[in-house]
Amino acid sequence: MTFVFLDRDGVINRPPLIKPYVTAPEELELLPRVPEAIRLLNDAGCRVVVVTNQRGISLGLYDEQDLERIHRRMREELARGRARVDAVYYCPHDADSCTCRKPGIGMFLQAQQDFPGLEFHRSIVIGDSVSDLQAAAHLSCRKVLVGAPGNVVDRELATQHIIPDFRCQSLWEAVTTFVLPGLRGLVPGITPH
């Protein structure tokens, strides 16, 4: 089975414009076509797993109960589009204080414990940051970068010799032009469930 790991902020929901973190459910705004993209993954038999750094908890900007309410809202919004995520993992810690915060792989290893059939070499990580792709590279997952080309993320990835397998503007584009064709055998290295 193919597992698709999604970063949250910048991939599933729009990052807030005024402050650095989504701190309440009403601030969560899904990006265009996200429910449709996730529904396509569900329909294709993929497991969809959210892995998100939530440093705002360690900074005291919101707490884990707030985050639970935010994720409940995310699941409700997805359900309206007949889409679902199979699990959500988050790291509440500050930078450089744990092994779960991406680029650490603790959240991914927890997913592997919870889903014994998970094989990282058959999995895909879709993210918008250097840390997302660093984690993917460490685990030998396929790497999909969401965002405009030529930004600071590209430059930092280049200095670390990490090359995305695919880059796109949105989760919808990633799913429809890379993930699903890969499941049909059109993109080398992606294997169906």
How many helices and strands (H and E) does the chain possess? 7, 6
66 is catalytic: no
- Angstrom distance (rounded) from CA 87 to CA 20: 24
AA letter at 31: L
- Angstrom distance (rounded) from CA 33 to CA 121: 27
- Which long-range contacts does 60-67 make (Cβ < 8 Å, 24+ apart)? 61/21, 61/23, 62/21, 62/23, 62/24, 64/92, 66/23, 66/24, 67/92
Burial 39-71 (b: 16+ CB within 10 A, else e): bbbbebebbbbbbbbbbbbeeeebeeebbeebb
9 is catalytic: yes
Catalytic residues: 7, 9
